[in-house]
Chain A
Amino acid sequence: MGFLKYILRNVSRNKLRSLLTALSVGICLAMMTVLYGFITLNDALIPELAAANRMIVMSRDGFTSSIPITVLDHVKRLDGVQSVVPLTWYLGVYRDEKMPSFAQLATDPKELLKVWFEFRLDPDQLQAWQDDRTGCIVDRRNAARYDWNVGDSIRLKGNNYSVDLELTVRGIYDGPEFINDLYFHWEYLDQELRSRNDPKAGTASILFVRAKSEKVMDQLCEQVDQRYENSDHPTLTQSHQAFAQMFTKFAGNLQVYIRNIGLAVVFSLTLVAGNAMAMSMRERTTEIALLKAIGFSRGLVLIMVLGESMAISLLGGVFGVGTGRVVWSTVHYFWPTFVPMDFIAPVVLVSGVAVAAGVGLVSGILPAVRASRLSVIDGLRRVV
């Protein structure tokens, strides 16, 4: 115990130096925590998605193309399909906003909650939504953000579609954290499009399918795609998690760059910490010689120096990862479009602290070995 105390005393001896080193490690790690939180966010959700047996049917040409609604009738009749809904991204602009800030999806109110079975919606509100052709349901967090209550009207300006919508909030649902969409009647949008002779009438962006069990999913995907292989509108059917993975891929090389920058940062932090430790040791040469003279073994001196170096880096690491986490939540609160979820994968946080410990260990090795090898006579004689 006394030994640990000795190490901590040494840490706080040159307070300014320890603080600067810890802050250097901390600030860089805070930044890396946020960046890694960002690039791992999508992947972190994937295991969660896998449990629900959901699949997505989209055009082979990509999800910005659409598929005819007739595909839905076909998919619905397939064995192993529990329920299926159309989803059309309306991408409208709310009020005076310049760009769409939340997703609005045209869907089938009768079936939606069978596919998104996690949604919690009051049965009366569900009924009210189903009965109102221009009704919609909104996510609770968005409702709070825009101050929407049941009965309020929401006016959306068509951006992707030539139709403007006037919707009435009929229900407020609680969904998984990564969902903040507004859902409204596909029929309503389609009728408006039809009356304008819009070529997009009679189509959906994607179909969202819930399979009866995990086992039938692969087969179902194949079945759907084979059916439309040689049609005018070939489809691409994949599991919800594969669909989500596609979004991770969008970032392209950016991910690789961020990882490489992370490596460079870890390396330079090791140099920062090593430099500070080496300076401390140089100043304490006489003292270490004295310790050895009174009987401290080489191993003990080694551990002492390594312990000090690790303690400083760990201090910085814990501070940095903590700061990064707080920054993440703050950004999520103020700009939910950048940081859609108040969640960083625990593995990112743990790695951050582990990296700090590693930096402390590696940076301490050279000064520690030097100190342990120091000849008592030379050390005592040397005037620093």
Chain B
Amino acid sequence: MIPVKYNLRSLRIRWVTTLLTALFTGLLVCASVFVFGLVDGLMNAFNVSSDELKLIVLRNGATEEIGSQIDGARARELGSVLESEGIATDSKGRVMSSPEQLTILTKPRRGDTIAVNLGVRGVSDMGPSLRPGFEIVKGRMFEPGKYEAITSPSIAERFQNCGLGEELTINNRPFRIVGLFKASGSVAESEVWTPVADLQAARKTPNFITSVVMMARDEAAKQRLIARIEDDEQFGLEVKDEKEYFQEQVKAVAVIRGIGYGLAMFLSIGAMFGAANTMYAAVAGRAREIGTLRALGFSRFSVLMSFLFESIALCLLGGIVGCLGTLPFNGMSSGTSISFNEVTFSFNFGPRVLLQGALLALTLGLLGGLFPAIRAVRMNIVRALREV
């Protein structure tokens, strides 16, 4: 085998080309990793939201909470009727079922005049316990009957009138933001929460519920609950496994993911051609060296491997720089609209995403170096040695 040192020294001696190639592969890998991190963060917002044992009850035929409507009295009744069927209870023995109303307001983001969608959810006392990792990080929990609201730090930061102490107007009724909460980065963090009765009163929609969220005691209880709700014609309700429900929502994210991966692919092909250029020049410029190596008895295979290694080393160098370049953005919070709902998410450049970036660099080094390396192998020894 040709020593690795030979390649590393070759890279060093042509340092301008090496630097340029590493820099552009790095930049293109950086752009791709940035997109991967965005998609990963977005998926994460939906994935942590779902809990195996959680169920969402909607009106029969509704695919989303918006558009679903359930009579409030029936929604409350649902909890007590179904308790025996296996709804979980919390430590105080209360039934874990929360009738909620989700509405979408249009409010301007900060520094903007045009309003965009913002989800406001009226929740019952049980609402917070049904969200994994719910905690108030600043201020306090709202008190029912006082037209108070809480929201996540990222919504507070991004939307006008949503900061702690500010007042958000819902149908001419001001709601004071009294607290900021986190819920392990789930989609709940994209919403403003108020007590359900206050939201109903402000919107003049008494008794109007869009969904009931409930927690099953165990898997068997979950199946019983599903069967019981769906079989009962009187209810006229449909029940969805939360995981399944979010899966539907994630489909919209899948479009963004598709676009993101397409982008990464195109950019990588672009970078690959650039890297191939560098390697072709390296092979052409070192014809005599290659001839000498072969004359010394190094096999075609070792020459091939040697040039492939050089190409991969070159691109990996760029790839690592590119991956590191995204780290300052790790955890950066951002928001976009998924099927007309504002969803906030945090960029996530975890090990998986960085590994994807490194693999990308490796692949483009391999593919970009393959043809130049084959050219090196095919060289006629005598002619190569004669080359000036």
Contacts and interface: CB of A to CB of B under 8 A. Distances in A.
A37 B145 CA distance: 49
A257 B114 contact: no
B335 to A, nearest CB: 5
Contacts of B28: 28, 264-265, 268
Nearest to A383: B388
B278 A275 contact: yes
B31 A261 contact: yes
Contacts of A62: 104-106, 115, 117
A261 B69 CA distance: 42
A164 B62 CA distance: 12
B205 A61 contact: no
A64 B66 contact: yes
B27 A267 contact: yes
B270 A28 contact: yes
Given A245-B114, A250-B336, A275-B20, A268 B271 contact: yes
Contact of A31 (B255, B266, B285): B266
A17 B335 CA distance: 42
A246 B267 contact: no
Nearest to A251: B336
A63 to B, nearest CB: 7
A17 B61 contact: no
B277 A268 contact: no
B369 to A, nearest CB: 13
Residue of A30, A98, A162 most packed against chain B (CB within 10 A) = A162
Nearest to A229: B172
B273 A27 contact: yes
B342 A252 contact: yes
Interface in A233-275: 233-234, 236, 242, 245-246, 249-254, 257, 261, 264-265, 267-269, 271-272, 274-275
Given A159-B63, A264-B27, A23 B334 contact: no
A260 to B, nearest CB: 8
A232 interface: yes
A263 to B, nearest CB: 9
A350 interface: no
B178 interface: no
Contacts, number: 180
Interface residues of B, number: 67
A21 interface: yes
A23 B63 contact: no
A65 B27 contact: no
A20 B271 CA distance: 10
Contact of A199 (B31, B63, B208, B259): B208
Nearest to A254: B336
B388 A23 contact: no
A31 B262 contact: yes
A99 interface: yes
A253 B20 contact: no
Contacts of A232: 171, 204
A195 interface: no
Contacts of B251: 99
A279 interface: yes
A71 interface: no
B17 A275 contact: yes
Contacts of A265: 27-28, 31, 267, 270
A157 B315 CA distance: 53
Contacts of B204: 232
Nearest to B281: A279
Interface string A259-299: 00100110111011011101100010000000000000000
Nearest to B23: A271
A161 interface: yes
A183 B150 CA distance: 40
Contacts of B276: 20
Contact of B116 (A28, A98, A234, A252): A252
Given A21-B277, A27-B273, A279-B17, A91 B67 contact: yes
A142 interface: no
Interface of A: 16-17, 20-21, 23-25, 27-28, 30-31, 35, 60-65, 91, 93, 98-99, 157-162, 164, 198-200, 230, 232-234, 236, 242, 245-246, 249-254, 257, 261, 264-265, 267-269, 271-272, 274-276, 278-279, 283, 338, 383-384
13 contacts: A20-B280, A24-B270, A31-B267, A61-B104, A64-B66, A233-B171, A246-B106, A249-B114, A249-B116, A254-B336, A265-B31, A268-B24, A271-B20
5 closest pairs, A vs B, by CB? A62-B106, A160-B67, A250-B337, A272-B274, A31-B266
